[in-house]
Chains A and B, each alone.
Chain A
Amino acid sequence: MAQVETVAEPRVELPVELFKGMVEPDWCPGCGDFGVLRALQGATAKLGIQPKDVLVVSGIGCSSNLPGFFNAYGFHSIHGRAIAVATGAALGNHGLHVVVTGGDGDGYGIGVGHFIHAMRRNLNLTYLVMDNQIYGLTTGQASPTTEIGHKTKSTPNGNIEMPLNPLALALVSGATFVARAFSGEAKHMTDVIAQAIQHKGFSLVDVFSPCVTYNKINSYAWFKERVYKLEEGEYEKTDFHGALQKAYEWGAQIPLGVVYQIDRPTYEDGDLALKQGPLAKLPLGLTAEQGAELIREFM
């Protein structure tokens, strides 16, 4: 029987420039998303994945413009639906490395339903959320991760909704790789993204990616004062309850790194239709005899 084609093993490191897109990013100077783009380019280069084997899918938002700045296949879809598009793409060709990029509004707001179900399914996707706790592209409204009391254009008297906790939500939804990175920590973020891509199953990387224009509170300086790295050997990333505790660490001390990682069969492993290899590579159509056989089922 044919083997399921799994994510390719790391090969020879490639030059980062190979992943540079045709278009220069048009993000505001200082935007955290520049760091994420560089880290993703660094990660794919380091892992030696060819651009043709990468599919970067996004929705709508400042961060969702990322695929246009990255040299690979991509799909810049509609607001909130990146995970759904990526799911179809990943199931259609599970030989591809599918990376979803977007923001907190796209993923934790309008698209949160798809986010939860993708994790429970353990689809082999990597999801990078550039979490800036604000809607940037629409000029500064509260987002699902905006903190209580934060004054934005849509909350002039201060936000009164409790922010969503992406890491905790990922954990309870069945994600098998949950991590956090910070645009101010480029090397660390590159390493975390590389691990996320290598992970077999759903991987979430929630990135603190400051919006220098519309979020004056959660700035680089704000994060730099608070973040610390979970160190390999000192932290047990396979302990669910420990991870949940880390997910709730917020305030003076905020952890960065892989908060949780376990092995669990992926959706692709379980779907019998995918056993013969990527669907996109299989021959199309049936023979006339097969058609007649289908009709005979009803006679």
Chain B
Amino acid sequence: MAQEVTVGVGGAAGDGIDKTGDTFARAYARLGLHMYAYNSYQSVIRGGHIWLRIRAAEEKVYSPGDQLNAMIALNQDTIDQHAAEVNEHGVIIYNGDKLHVDESVFKPGVRAVPIPIKDLMKTVADRYGVRLDTVMQNTVLLGALIWLLQLDLETLNKMYEEIFARKGQAVISQNVDLALAGYEYAKANHPAMDYRWTYSRKSRPVLTGNETIGIGALMAGCRFYSAYPMTPASSLLHFMASHAAEYGVCVKQAEDELAVVNMAIGAGHVGVRAMCGTSGGGYALMTEAIGMAGMAEVPVVILEVQRGGPSTGLPTKTEQGDLNQVFGASQGEYPRMIVAPADLVDTYNTTVEAFQMAEKYQLPVTIISDLLLSEHNETADPEAFDFNVTIDRGELAEPNENGNGEYKRYLVTESGISPRSLPGDAGNMFVGASDEHDERSILISDVYTDPLMRIKMMQKRMRKLEGLLRNLPAPTLHGPADADITFISWGSTQGVIWDAIALLAQEGIKTNNLQIKYLVPFHTDEVATILNSCKLKVLVEQNFTGQLGRHIRAETGISPDATILKYDGEPMEPLYIVNHVKEILNGTSRNGR
């Protein structure tokens, strides 16, 4: 059986948990272990409770999992809150000088591993004649963890060489020595856990969804990114800002999300591939302008990273509660694309595709992600990213030196696509219009009201969706076609469902998954055909009302037979699904009621 371990690192904000977790994940991803890390954090800069769980496995895993085998506690709060969760024969590693454990709450075989941080750090500090920051205790504790998990210490040392390369050999050596001190102390005092790792040595990157979205944007030729800081979209702003000068991207932090989206539309109007990003609250402010992009036929990509709502809601927690908002964005009806990626590679592909489709069909594309997908760290196979991107700008009008005012920006065509002209092009001047207009973009909204033209233009715009839908692959079932249960899902829940499918299979329950990626336009016929062939249809969503279920019902008339919903802000774990499936099968499920 493939080895896997889940490590929890807990402490207060400011304790350096992110860096410790990142160092661990990246180090052992290089040896070929798959990683999936999720950080439960709070919207505070210092203090609060942070709980990072890293799952490391020899085979690919798709969710944070259900286990907790080892814990590094950086404060008492972590021990008090999580000690009882550590699995049988697990370990709890902590600063023995300051923290204490109550073994009565431990599961059988769980061991306390107190580390004499003060003495160990003093020895290293004296060796270099320096004072060491207390946050460096993390390195000592990590060293102890490496021993207990029987991982390779040399790999960690190499990580420190790279991380601190700019800070000089002394800092590298101090970190290496601190890790070694923790490792040796644990080795001398605590037997290792029962792990024997086989390293494939295939090196993989450890990334977040926002980072893969950023890479996708750069690959697709994004040259304008605007945003207002908002969790959990801000890390994309940081990624884009840190790559802006090198890749020639204008990254604009704006005064509010009204400005954010309108700036992106302005950039799109002059022919720049433009994107903006926000969470649900910011998207709410953007909606009027998104309708304008639909009306004026301006390509723009909007990222909506959901967090718990409504209102300020759960700012640092995950949820899939904004689907209705995205569907309902803007007054009136207009062509748009709404797409929900499921995992890291999918966020990359989706982002590239979003830019292509936005320009090809001249419409706003909303990519809807969530905190879990956008912020969790995971390994991905580097070759899974297709970097051979051929830019397709869609139909462009030829500049016309002797423009005679005959250019029709909104020319009625069979496809609904009218060749664009870009400001600066000779001869093809036009005024992009948020009012209803005719083919030459002359307003017909007020004094020149023309119902026939209105119908013509509405049909022209909406016709674009037919071509767009033909460009998008229809969903298919993942897992055995003859399954007894089909999980219906969208976005990040695909991962935990796939882990649950594997667990259920071990118990002889055959399940599969219908993941809906393209929400608008919708593959109505294909989805209906698949659902009609399914036995028990179980809707899985991270929200209260089952918003995808409502959408599917609206599009196909088909309702799920049961629901597995969750809205506490924490990601679903595989057993949550497994246990609900059992309840559904024996008729005791109350979920979603």
Interface residues of A (CB under 8 A from B): 22-23, 26, 50-53, 55-57, 60, 65, 67-68, 71-78, 80-81, 84-93, 95-96, 113-114, 116-117, 271-274, 276, 278-282, 284-288, 290-292, 294-299
Q: Is B219 an interface residue (CB 8 A)?
A: yes
Q: Which residues of A contact B125 (CB under 8 A)?
A: none
Q: Given A76-B432, A298-B211, answer yes or no on A68-B443 (Cβ-Cβ < 8 Å).
A: yes
Q: Which residues of B contact A91 (CB under 8 A)?
A: 224, 250, 252, 263, 266-267
Q: Is B483 an interface residue (CB 8 A)?
A: no
Q: Which chain A residue has the least Cβ–Cβ distance from B443?
A: A68
Residues of B11-35 whose CB lies within 8 A of A? 26, 29-30
Q: Given A26-B447, A296-B205, answer yes or no on A92-B271 (Cβ-Cβ < 8 Å).
A: yes
Residues of B527-568 whose CB lies within 8 A of A? none
Interface residues of B (CB under 8 A from A): 26, 29-30, 203-207, 211, 215, 218-221, 223-224, 226, 243-245, 247-252, 254-256, 258-259, 262-274, 288-289, 292, 296, 382, 385, 387-389, 391, 393, 403, 405, 422-427, 429-435, 440, 442-443, 446-447
Shortest CB-to-CB span from B348 to chain A, Å, is 9
Q: Among B262, B267, B387, B442, which residue has its beta carbon within 8 angstroms of that of A291?
A: B387
Shortest CB-to-CB span from A54 to chain B, Å, is 8
- A290→B215 CA distance, assembly (Å): 10
Shortest CB-to-CB span from A125 to chain B, Å, is 11
Shortest CB-to-CB span from B386 to chain A, Å, is 9
- A68→B572 CA distance, assembly (Å): 53
> When the two chains form their complex, are residues A96 and B424 in contact, meaning their CB atoms are under 8 A apart?
yes
Q: Which residues of A contact B442 (CB under 8 A)?
A: 22-23, 68
Q: Which residues of A contact B289 (CB under 8 A)?
A: 77-78, 81
A-B residue pairs in contact (CB < 8 Å), sample of 13: A51-B429, A67-B431, A84-B254, A84-B263, A88-B264, A88-B268, A279-B224, A280-B223, A280-B271, A286-B387, A290-B219, A294-B215, A298-B211
Q: Among A84, A88, A95, A276, which residue has its beta carbon within 8 angstroms of that of B248?
A: A276
Q: Among A116, A117, A294, A295, which residue has its beta carbon within 8 angstroms of that of B254?
A: A117
> When the two chains form their complex, are residues A88 and B224 in contact, meaning their CB atoms are under 8 A apart?
yes
- A30→B219 CA distance, assembly (Å): 54
Shortest CB-to-CB span from B457 to chain A, Å, is 15
Q: Which residues of A contact B226 (CB under 8 A)?
A: 88
Q: Given A22-B405, A77-B262, A88-B268, answer yes or no on A295-B215 (Cβ-Cβ < 8 Å).
A: yes
- A291→B212 CA distance, assembly (Å): 11
Q: Which residues of A contact B274 (CB under 8 A)?
A: 88, 92
Q: Given A23-B442, A73-B423, A85-B263, answer yes or no on A92-B224 (Cβ-Cβ < 8 Å).
A: yes
Q: Given A85-B266, A298-B211, answer yes or no on A273-B259 (Cβ-Cβ < 8 Å).
A: no
Q: Which residues of B contact A26 (CB under 8 A)?
A: 446-447
Q: Given A78-B434, A96-B270, A113-B255, answer yes or no on A279-B223 (Cβ-Cβ < 8 Å).
A: yes
> When the two chains form their complex, are residues A76 and B266 in contact, meaning their CB atoms are under 8 A apart?
no
Q: Which residues of A contact B385 (CB under 8 A)?
A: 291, 295
- A278→B224 CA distance, assembly (Å): 12
- A116→B203 CA distance, assembly (Å): 50
- A67→B423 CA distance, assembly (Å): 14
Q: Which chain A residue has the least Cβ–Cβ distance from B259?
A: A84
Q: Among A23, A75, A285, which residue has its beta carbon within 8 angstroms of that of B219?
A: A285
Q: Among B221, B263, B393, which residue has its beta carbon within 8 angstroms of that of A88?
A: B263
Q: Among A50, A68, A114, A280, which residue has its beta carbon within 8 angstroms of that of B270?
A: A280
Q: Which residues of B contact A80 (CB under 8 A)?
A: 258
- A292→B348 CA distance, assembly (Å): 13
In the complex, besides A52-B427, A75-B269, A272-B244, 8 extra interface pairs with C-beta distance below 8 angstroms are A22-B405, A55-B270, A91-B252, A273-B223, A276-B248, A278-B424, A282-B223, A284-B221
Q: Which chain B residue has the least Cβ–Cβ distance from A272?
A: B245
Q: Which residues of A contact B389 (CB under 8 A)?
A: 285-286, 291
Q: Which residues of A contact B272 (CB under 8 A)?
A: 88, 92-93, 279-280
Q: Which residues of B contact A282 (CB under 8 A)?
A: 223, 248
> When the two chains form their complex, are residues A279 and B250 in contact, meaning their CB atoms are under 8 A apart?
yes
Interface centre among A56, A88, A295, A296 (most CB of B within 10 A): A88
Q: Among B219, B252, B425, which residue has its beta carbon within 8 angstroms of that of A52?
A: B425
Q: Among B255, B258, B263, B432, which residue has its beta carbon within 8 angstroms of that of A75?
A: B432
Interface centre among A89, A96, A271 (most CB of B within 10 A): A89
Q: Which residues of B contact A22 (CB under 8 A)?
A: 405, 440, 442
Q: Which residues of A contact B205 (CB under 8 A)?
A: 295-299
10 closest pairs, A vs B, by CB? A88-B266, A291-B387, A284-B221, A74-B431, A84-B262, A88-B263, A298-B205, A92-B267, A92-B272, A73-B423
> When the two chains form their complex, are residues B434 and A117 in contact, meaning their CB atoms are under 8 A apart?
no
Q: Which residues of B contact A88 (CB under 8 A)?
A: 224, 226, 252, 262-270, 272, 274
Q: Which residues of B contact A279 (CB under 8 A)?
A: 223-224, 248, 250, 267, 272
- A60→B295 CA distance, assembly (Å): 15
Q: Which residues of B contact A271 (CB under 8 A)?
A: 250
